[in-house]
């Protein structure tokens, strides 16, 4: 298969972790005889510094012309700490989602058995956790009309949804549930919000077309509690933009590190894949950032194009790195392996995924060839 992939490294650790994802895609090319063409462009704070815009026109056009977008991270403290900034890095990502029509964000939440001890939650609570969050991405309060009075003392943000916006993501979530464990949970605030009542009405009606899927409902405050108390009750979670942002970040702690969770943003004609962690500027250039979420985002890209064997090869190589302890310091404080070493190990094991490999740990630590 030939694919044109737009690379948007972004800010902070984005370039470092994206480089590791590309290494793994190149290993897939070598192993499975595919051809991927990569073109890079600026987005976020680095783009503001260069052009004044967080999403320059040439970056947007590159993404529209590509088969898929692989994204690093976005954000910079100099904007986070300035409430008066008129242009912010995050505006570039929001605009990109809107312009590409990426209305569905898919975030798998799965516990790796070898990392259960890293979770702040008890083993008996999280063992076997495996659910997926479907978050609506281009509507709601993030994109609604925003007002601030002249005195700067009263502000409002409009949360608005249409039946069409709800329907298109609901169908995707129901189809996903059919291919998993046949359960879908709608998270809303229908006891208070009119927009949530519309969500519940539309999703209930659509659910009649998927009789094999059990549909239930949770208010968002209860859902936030249940994600921690009993995450195994969930299979597919469907929710609106703001609630999805909060719930998915909360769910990231279950596995012990936000550096493990990938995501896909899907539209009718475009797709974007990114780790859910932020730009982590404190780690920039220190070779300590966890690249696994970015690498697993590349695996989701492969799955999106029906390259299931290739995606499995990436996932198996990641599993091997975790089992072998070839991880960054966020997963093991005593680890001597950096971002690049972990990426090299995973890429090497995509090329040669023999389970009986003799791995030379000393060579890995020295950054040499990991396969002997």
**Annotated active-site residue in 82, 221, 268, 361:** 221
Burial class (CB in 10 A: 0-12, 13-18, 19+), 327: buried
Residue 72, helix vs strand vs coil: strand
Closest CA to 267 of 74, 90, 31, 96: 96
d(CA 291, CA 282): 15
At 227, phi and psi to the nearest 5?
-60, -30
**Active-site entry in 249, 287, 319, 332:** 249
Cα–Cα distance for residue pair 9/76, rounded to 1 Å: 13
Of 74, 75, 91, which is closest to residue 9 (Cα–Cα)?
74
Euclidean distance between CA atoms 341 and 62, whole angstroms: 30
Q: Tell me if residue 82 is catalytic.
A: no
Task: For residues 231 and 253, give the distance between their C-alpha atoms in angstroms, rounded to a whole number.
Answer: 11
Q: Which of 134, 161, 188, 189 does the annotation list as catalytic?
A: 189
249 is catalytic: yes
Cα–Cα distance between 121 and 256 in angstroms, integer? 9
161 catalytic? Reply is no
Measured between alpha carbons, how far is 221 from 200 in angstroms, rounded to an integer?
16
Report helix, strand or coil for 357. coil
245 is catalytic: yes
Tokens of 49: 């510094």
Catalytic one among 142, 161, 210, 337?
A: 142
Do 89 and 75 touch, CB atoms closer than 8 A?
yes
Separation of alpha carbons 47 and 14, rounded Å: 13
Q: Is 221 assigned a catalytic role?
A: yes
What is the rounded distance in angstroms from the CA atom of residue 51 to the CA atom of residue 47? 6
Q: Which positions are catalytic?
A: 142, 189, 221, 245, 249
């Amino acid at each position: 298969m030939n694919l044109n992939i737009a690379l948007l490294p972004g800010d902070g650790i984005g370039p470092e972790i994206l480089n590791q994802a590309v290494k793994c895609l190149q290993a897939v090319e070598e192993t499975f005889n595919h051809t991927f063409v990569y073109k890079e462009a600026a987005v976020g704070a680095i783009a503001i510094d260069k052009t004044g815009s967080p999403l320059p026109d040439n970056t947007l056009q590159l993404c529209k012309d590509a088969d898929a977008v692989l994204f690093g991270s976005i954000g910079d403290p100099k904007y986070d700490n300035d409430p008066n900034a008129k242009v912010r890095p995050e505006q570039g990502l929001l605009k990109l989602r809107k312009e590409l029509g990426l209305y569905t964000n898919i975030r798998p939440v799965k516990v790796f058995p070898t990392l259960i001890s890293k979770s702040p939650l008890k083993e008996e609570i999280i063992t076997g956790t495996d659910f997926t969050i479907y978050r609506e991405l281009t509507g709601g309060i993030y994109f609604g009309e925003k007002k601030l009075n002249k005195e700067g003392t009263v502000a409002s943000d409009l949360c608005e949804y249409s039946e069409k916006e709800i329907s298109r993501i609901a169908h995707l979530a129901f189809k996903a549930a059919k291919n998993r464990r046949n359960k879908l949970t709608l998270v809303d605030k229908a006891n208070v919000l009119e927009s949530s009542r519309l969500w519940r009405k539309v999703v209930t009606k659509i659910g009649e077309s998927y009789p094999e899927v059990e549909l239930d409902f949770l208010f968002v405050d209860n859902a936030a509690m249940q994600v921690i108390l009993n995450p195994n009750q969930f299979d597919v979670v469907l929710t609106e933009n703001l609630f999805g942002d909060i719930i998915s970040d909360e769910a990231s702690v279950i596995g012990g590190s936000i550096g493990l969770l990938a995501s896909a943003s899907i539209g009718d004609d475009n797709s974007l894949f990114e780790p859910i962690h932020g730009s982590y500027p404190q780690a920039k250039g220190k070779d300590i950032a966890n690249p696994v979420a970015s690498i697993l985002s590349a695996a989701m890209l492969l799955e999106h194009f029906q390259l299931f064997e290739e995606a499995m090869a990436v996932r198996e190589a990641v599993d091997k790195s975790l089992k072998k302890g070839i991880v960054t310091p966020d997963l093991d404080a005593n680890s001597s392996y950096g971002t690049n070493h972990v990426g090299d190990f995973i890429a090497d094991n995509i090329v040669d995924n023999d389970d009986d490999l003799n791995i030379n740990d000393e060579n890995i630590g020295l950054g040499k060839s990991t396969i002997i």
